[in-house]
Amino acid sequence: MSIKGLLKTNIPQTILVLFLYLIYAIAGTLGTYLFKYSLNAITAKNLNSFIFWEIITMVTELATALLLPLATVAFTRQIQDYLHQIRKDIMHHYYNGDDEKISTMQNDLTNNLKILSTDFATPLITIFSGLLSITFSIGILFRMSWILILTTAVLAVITLSLPKLLEKKMSQANATVNQKNERLLNTIAHWLGGLQELRRYNAFARLNKKLKEASGEYVESNKKNMLYRSWSEIINGLGNSVAQLGMVLISGILFFNHTISFGDFGVAASFAFIIFEGIWNITDSLTRIKSTKILREETTKLRQARTLEIPTSAFGVIATNLVAKYDNGETITYPDFTIKPGQKVLLTGDSGTGKSTLFKLLLNKLTPANGQIIYFYLYKNGNPIKSPVQVGNLPQDPIVFPASIKDNITMFDSKIQENVQTAVNKVQLTNDLAKMPAGLETQVDLKNENLSGGQRQKVVLARSLIHDQPFVLMDEVTSAIDQTATEKILDNLLKTKLKTKQTILMIAHNFTPEMRAKFDQEIKLTAVRKEAAE
Ligand SMILES: Nc1ncnc2c1ncn2[C@@H]1O[C@H](COP(=O)(O)OP(=O)(O)OP(=O)(O)O)[C@@H](O)[C@H]1O
């Protein structure tokens, strides 16, 4: 998040915002200044002149009161446009990354953007508006007496240097709040994800304890943050009051010396209020802006999109000397294998032989302890050339979204709608849809689970088919589908001539010899060398 980015989001809107704040500052200053004539009319005991200037002042004040909400609305829209842009970039970053925790993502998209809006964007406009009011007020004071300007300058230096006292502490406190909030979200995701299991084992006390711990830390960090903020406000407020009193004192002396009129004395005090309130607001805003420095740097990094080049050809992969190792010492050694572009490969092996772990390695969710994985789609002089790839992944539990079955297949891409029916036929979903009154438009109800496990598997298979992914990992993707349908789906999956050929690596148990024979190759995992942790 940057000033430039905020201003550039919508240039005509930026001009409107700046213009509205400019006339708001002019009207505000004028309203205060014109009151001088009402005061002078009182000392001259001229009722008509007093009423005339009072009406003029009131009209200007009314204009000021109307301008502020207008300017605020325009600026809020500007912030929202900018945040929308940032949110889109962050989503893009996570979408292409595939390796982030949901809680981090939620925190970046909600809490952190809220902080940037309240502690960066809003303070910026406060500074702009404050600077305008201060400039106009100084101009007017200067016309009255240079002594008033000198007093203002001295008091301003004192007021401006006060916030420095707590700047660092506030930045740290803000970062801690974020950290603790992320931990809380993490705990919620981990523990509430297994809520049914906890219920089954009456483990409510443990859930409660964990949530209490995490939320306690979050509350504490928030309290500390508020404490620093309050101290900062107290220190700034004190400086502000001393400065205002100083101005009243000096302008009073100037009045008694006949340097300024009574009207000037009256409004000089008001301008003192505008100036010091402006300075107070600016210093407070600067402190807030500085406290978001770490957050802004993080957001900028997140906005740097991880764009993956997605080639349209099928990919192959070569694995050599591959070894996976978990923190507990569990080590799995894999046989070397090569999967050529477009091949359909079956991955088998007893439970615990490392099939899922191989998928984690291929998805780059786990770094090999040894060996390497090379994805390629081109050969040069007979040798494969390493290339980045986006690996498709169909996990054992199909991930569906609360949208129509059609949208779940197209993933909201209307351009590929016409291919839906073909994909539906190939995954044997046609008969299931015929039983649903709304057919493809049936809304997936995650809460009441209106789709069976097999139907959900068919939906994600159709999704994978329609999206032409160049390399797809499938983990027991037909486990809930009956034997006859599975055979037909396999025929379609393995023999389908897609626009671009697709490489498939599929984990499956209990396939008949005929079904296994449909694959180009079978990788059988057997021995697992275990090195138990101490
Ligand atoms: N996160 C983990 N931490 C430590 N060990 C793990 C972890 N995940 C898996 N393992 C161990 O690694 C070995 C291989 O597990 P993996 O899940 O890859 O096997 P699998 O062949 O997919 O089994 P299944 O067919 O039962 O799904 C097992 O001994 C397992 O206990």
Q: In the structure, what pLDDT confidence band is assigned to residue 155 with cuts at 50, 70 and 90?
A: confident
CA of 145 to the centre of ligand 1 (A): 82
The protein residue with its alpha carbon nearest to ligand 1, atom 1, reads 326
Out of 159-168, 170-179, 254-263, 465-474, which region has the weakest mean confidence (pLDDT)? Answer: 159-168
Running DSSP on this structure, what letter comes out for residue 533? -
CA of 357 to the centre of ligand 1 (A): 6
Q: State whether residue 351 is helix, strand or coil.
A: coil
Judge contact between 120 and 79, C-beta under 8 A.
no
CA of 354 to the centre of ligand 1 (A): 6
Sequential DSSP letters for 252-310 = HHHHHTTSS-HHHHHHHHHHHHHHHHHHHHHHHHHHHHHHTHHHHHHHHHHHS--PPP-
Rounded CA-CA distance 434/187 in Å is 42
Those residues with Cβ within 8 angstroms of residue 60's Cβ, 6 or more apart along the chain or in another chain: 27, 30, 31, 34
The protein residue with its alpha carbon nearest to ligand 1, atom 25, reads 351
Rounded CA-CA distance 132/129 in Å is 5
- Residue 389, both tokens: 């790839």
CA of 525 to the centre of ligand 1 (A): 12
The protein residue with its alpha carbon nearest to ligand 1, atom 8, reads 357
Give 86: exposed, middle or buried? Use CB within 10 Å, 0-12, 13-18, 19+. Answer: buried
Those residues with Cβ within 8 angstroms of residue 447's Cβ, 6 or more apart along the chain or in another chain: none
Closest CA to 317 of 367, 391, 393: 391
Model confidence pLDDT, tens digit, residues 379-432: 777 778 887 777 888 888 888 888 889 988 888 777 788 889 999 999 999 999
Task: Tell me the H-state helices in 2-110.
Answer: 3-8, 11-43, 47-97, 102-109
* Ligand 1 pocket test, candidate residues 190, 326, 397, most atoms within 8 A of CB: 326
Sequential DSSP letters for 35-62 = HHHHHHHHHTT-HHHHHHHHHHHHHHHH
Confidence (pLDDT) at 183: 84
Asked whether 328 lines ligand 1 (CB < 6 A), one says yes
Q: Which residues pair with 331 in a beta bridge?
A: 325
Pairing type for strands 316-325 and 370-380 reads antiparallel
What domains can be seen in the chain, in order of their start residue?
3-303 (1.20.1560.10)
Give 530: exposed, middle or buried? Use CB within 10 Å, 0-12, 13-18, 19+. Answer: exposed
Asked if pLDDT for residue 198 goes beyond 70, the answer is no
The protein residue with its alpha carbon nearest to ligand 1, atom 24, reads 351
Asked if pLDDT for residue 532 goes beyond 50, the answer is no
- Phi-psi label, residue 494: left if phi above 0, alpha if psi -120 to 50, beta otherwise: alpha
Running DSSP on this structure, what letter comes out for residue 499? S
Asked if pLDDT for residue 529 goes beyond 60, the answer is no
Model confidence pLDDT, tens digit, residues 199-256: 666 667 777 787 888 888 888 888 888 888 888 888 878 887 887 788 889 989 999 9
Pairing type for strands 337-339 and 503-507 reads unpaired
Those residues with Cβ within 8 angstroms of residue 188's Cβ, 6 or more apart along the chain or in another chain: 103, 211, 214
Asked whether 332 lines ligand 1 (CB < 6 A), one says yes
Asked whether 353 lines ligand 1 (CB < 6 A), one says yes
Confidence (pLDDT) at 127: 94
Better pLDDT: 30 or 112: 30
- Residue 47, both tokens: 């009722």
SS3 string, 446-457, reads CCCCCCCHHHHH
Running DSSP on this structure, what letter comes out for residue 468? T
Pairing type for strands 370-380 and 337-339 reads unpaired
Taking the alpha carbons of 500, 503, 509, 513 in that order, is the dihedral positive or negative? positive
Calculated CA dihedral for residues 403, 408, 410, 411, nearest 10 degrees: 80
Buried-exposed string 376-413: b where 16+ CB fall within 10 A, e elsewhere: bbeeeeeebeeeebbbbbbeeebebeeebbbbbbbeee
Measured N-to-C along each axis, helices 262-291 and 146-161 cross at an angle, to the nearest 10 degrees, of 20
Confidence (pLDDT) at 534: 34
CA of 194 to the centre of ligand 1 (A): 19
Q: Return mean pLDDT, the chain.
A: 84
Calculated CA dihedral for residues 82, 88, 93, 95, nearest 10 degrees: 170
Q: In the structure, what pLDDT confidence band is assigned to residue 474 with cuts at 50, 70 and 90?
A: very high
Q: State whether residue 477 is helix, strand or coil.
A: coil
Percent of the chain with pLDDT over 90: 31
Taking the alpha carbons of 90, 95, 101, 106 in that order, is the dihedral positive or negative? positive
Asked if pLDDT for residue 172 goes beyond 60, the answer is yes
Rounded CA-CA distance 163/286 in Å is 9
CA of 349 to the centre of ligand 1 (A): 12
Model confidence pLDDT, tens digit, residues 333-374: 999 999 998 889 999 998 889 999 999 999 888 899 999 999
Those residues with Cβ within 8 angstroms of residue 264's Cβ, 6 or more apart along the chain or in another chain: 36, 144, 251, 255
CA of 443 to the centre of ligand 1 (A): 35
Rounded CA-CA distance 89/9 in Å is 14
Rounded CA-CA distance 320/335 in Å is 8
Asked whether 356 lines ligand 1 (CB < 6 A), one says yes
Running DSSP on this structure, what letter comes out for residue 326? -
CA of 352 to the centre of ligand 1 (A): 5
Q: In the structure, what pLDDT confidence band is assigned to residue 187 with cuts at 50, 70 and 90?
A: confident
Out of 12-26, 32-46, 177-191, 468-482, which region has the weakest mean confidence (pLDDT)? Answer: 177-191
Confidence (pLDDT) at 323: 93
CA angle, 399 then 401 then 407, to 5°: 110
Q: In the structure, what pLDDT confidence band is assigned to residue 132 with cuts at 50, 70 and 90?
A: very high
Model confidence pLDDT, tens digit, residues 52-100: 999 999 999 999 999 999 999 999 999 888 888 888 887 777 766 555 5
Rounded CA-CA distance 45/51 in Å is 11
Closest CA to 226 of 286, 291, 281, 158: 291
Rounded CA-CA distance 347/364 in Å is 18
Closest CA to 516 of 346, 355, 343, 342: 346
Out of 133-147, 207-221, 320-334, which region has the weakest mean confidence (pLDDT)? Answer: 207-221
Give 182: exposed, middle or buried? Use CB within 10 Å, 0-12, 13-18, 19+. Answer: buried
